Structure 1
């Protein structure tokens, strides 16, 4: 993609166990839709979305990855050049939280402070079935230098805030000027999906 001086390009990778809602979060953010049907994401694919921050156009390339164990070894291929990582777990599935910790440790070891990390508890619409307590997740996220978010792709809760806050953090990772800091993030252009992946719950 050809970008001028007023544009930034960030790569974001979404990782986590299968069926935690990675694809649903992407589809909700980029297309504002949701499907209850679950189909396995084949390996990986990406979507793009343009946002505007402090007068600069920002292109987010959001990589969706398969959650099955056999694809875990491919993770470094997708997160290697990323500026942001979203690690997702299902608040009703304790095992998915354990897997999320594994991903976060791996990314922290490989990339350190070169990447902004988010730990995301998805499916907050199933609060009554929650098994992972937010205090535990927040404490763990803080211990590895990440921020914790709670979302519901189904109800569209916390999704916009997650991506916009991550974009702001990536935007401010490196100084853009003497006192240049973004004051707000506003979506201005609908997404374009370059490679579609199957919907995930």
Structure 2
């Protein structure tokens, strides 16, 4: 009698359905980044996002299929009433700024503030993976926000940081792979970001102080005091030595 042996099939983990949103000022390249990743192409002509653009893509993270719903949010203030309906239930946020426009970098705090206002509590924010995307790095001559400043802002808040170019494709795949991998890890961790996920070298307060020092106009401004204190010159030397440790 011939015996039939049945080999149990390996069961893949259940597929995940996640929601991610893009945030940032108008014209920083949010839509171009998404198109570069999903469609492998760059759209050179600027087309403003009207309200919300929506798309779906499937990715494989380890042995798991991830169905990603992408909501590309318009950056113009006019569309606030549309945006505020889409913050809730997000597992991932792509925060984008243009390295050649300092205003777009400084606006990241406002974008976080708007999101916190709509999310309702810090607990909700802790259940989201944030990626800070310093975009348009291919345009080196017009760059005004250096990598150190952008990385400091991101990592002091526990966010990932990537430098990208939607035009050349630099950093795009790596950024999205890390993004979706971190979201998967978070979902498998009960919906909370793993504590050790991002190495944080500074607190937010320390990072803000370093940013103020880097952007100060003179020694007095660097220390946040009025002219007339003889200790400023010595303190300035010490502070500059400290800053040089973190290029």
CA distance in 2 between counterparts of 1:19 and 1:161 reads 22
How big is each residue's C-alpha offset from its partner over 1:129-167, in whole Å with a ceiling of 9 and x where there is no partner? 111111111111122221111100000011111111010
Which structure 1 segments of 5+ residues have no match? 178-201
Two-structure CA RMSD over aligned residues (Å)? 1.9
Matched, 1:37 2:35: no
Question: In structure 2, what is the Cα distance between the partners aligned to 1:92 and 1:176?
Answer: 37
Aligned twin of 2:167: 154
Shift of 1:54: 2.0
Structure 2 counterpart of 1:51: 59
Measure, in 1, the Cα distance between the counterparts of 2:161 and 2:112: 12
Contact kept, 8 Å, 1:30 with 1:48, in 2: the verdict is no
- In structure 2, the residue matched to 1:145 is 158
Q: TM-score, normalised by structure 2?
A: 0.66
Alignment counterpart, residue 177 of structure 2, candidates 150, 153, 164 = 164
3-state SS of paired residue (1:139): helix
Instruction: Say which SS state the counterpart of residue 85 (structure 2) adopts.
Output: helix
Are positions 1:90 and 2:98 aligned together? yes
| Aligned residues between the structures | 174
Trace 1:1-201 onto structure 2 (pairs within 5 A). Answer: 6-107=14-115, 110=119, 111-175=124-188
| Distance in 1, Cα, partners of 2:153 & 2:26 | 21
Q: Deviations over 1:69-99 (max 9, x none)?
A: 1113433322211100001000000111111
TM-score by length of 1: 0.80
Distance 1:138 1:103 in 2: 17
Which structure would you say has the larger Rg?
Answer: 2
Point out where structure 2 has 5 or more consecutive residues left out of the alignment: 1-11, 191-247
